[in-house]
Structure 1
Amino acid sequence: MASGDPVEVWMRGPVEGIAPALQPVAHSLLQVREEIERATADLTPDQLWARPGGAGSIGFHLRHIAGATDRLLTYARDEALTPAQLAQLKAEANPGDPPADAAQTMAIACEAIDRALAQVRGTDVATLFDARGVGRAKLPTTVIGLLFHAAEHATRHAGQMATMRKVVLG
């Protein structure tokens, strides 16, 4: 699936190894991967971490896609967040010193998407409506709710990145 393909991922047919009920999740995650590759192509570190008007930078959105996807899928596995995941959450907007470049930051997001796809591929559809809790408050949801939210949340941030790219490049 080439990122230059004019046909969106969901119209390319089923993703191999993914249960029919989870195809929309896989399609969304793969679409996000293609969109973030386009949004980060050729950006300098200054452009990647720019925050015009105080908006979230493209770099933040990449790290947040990675971190939020990982956290949501942790809850889908019925596990608690680790101290490392909580530390990552606090560091998502920090560009680093020197600032991370686009290739490094995009790789983090793509690796998270790959791990998410592996988890989706291994999800037993008989568990999709199993109850799960989110956060310390254990807010109620289900496995399918978390998988779907991970995909749509990543999609929202990929859209924000596309818009921010236009703003940053002027």
Structure 2
Amino acid sequence: MNNDPQPEVWMRGPIAGVPSLLQPVAHALLQAKEEVTRYLQGFDDRLLWEKPGGMASVGFHLQHMAGVTERLFTYAADKTLSAEQLNGLRMEGAQDPLLNAAALVAAFGSRVDTAIQQLKQTDETTLTDIRYLGRKRIPTTQLGLLFHAAEHTQRHLGQLLVTVRLLPLLSR
């Protein structure tokens, strides 16, 4: 499935400026960015909102991966979500004729770039500091939120890649 001669991001060494304990988060997010870019190149926009067998659409996965990264990194920074972020959450998966795969891939890539910058500014000594998730203010840690952003993104990436491969077969 991997036609890229380059090794996976984690095998290329540390990401400059990212604290050692946060390297796995950076590696996972950058790997997702690369794979999304590679596997959605030339994607047929007519399939963007299709839900094969009731699965989530490619458009939803792209929106959600960008959105969940932004939201979890916001909580990790000990901030609450803005009205714009809450609206974005509500709109994930809603068909928007103005959106295409290239725009959603670019938005996800930009979100990953912003997340990497936040990682570079994160003090490792604060990783076990308490942070709160959502309106219910579920207690967790800064590291827990950052790790979950990477893990959750990878989970959706896997689902996205299966859907991207399946859709052209079903549309024949």
Per the shorter chain, which TM-score range? over 0.9
Tell me what 1:31 maps to: 31
Partners of 1:35 and 1:136 lie apart in 2 by 32
1:80-159 matched pairs, under 5 angstroms = 80-98=80-98, 100-159=99-158
Aligned mates of 1:65, 1:22 — CA distance in 2? 19
Q: Distance in 1 between matches of 2:82 and 2:34?
A: 29
- Deviation by residue 1:31-75 (Cα, 9 ceiling, x = unmatched): 010111122111121122211122111111011011110000110
Output the CA distance in 2 between the equivalents of 1:42 and 1:132: 40
Would you identify which runs of 4 or more consecutive aligned residues in structure 1 move more than 4 Å?
Answer: none
Query: Where do 5+ consecutive residues of structure 2 fail to align?
Result: none
> What's the counterpart of residue 73 of structure 1?
73
CA RMSD of the aligned region, Å?
1.3
State the secondary structure of the residue aligned to 1:132: strand
Shift of 1:19: 1.0
Say which SS state the counterpart of residue 4 (structure 1) adopts: coil
State the AA in 2 paired with 1:148: F
AA at the equivalent of 1:65:
M
Deviation of 1:16 after TM superposition, in Å, equals 0.7
TM-score, length-scaled by structure 1: 0.94
Number of residue pairs aligned between Structure 1 and Structure 2 = 167
Would you say the 8 A contact 1:39–1:161 is kept in 2? no
| Percent identity for Structure 1 against Structure 2 | 45
Give 3-state SS (helix, strand or coil) of 2:18's partner. Answer: coil
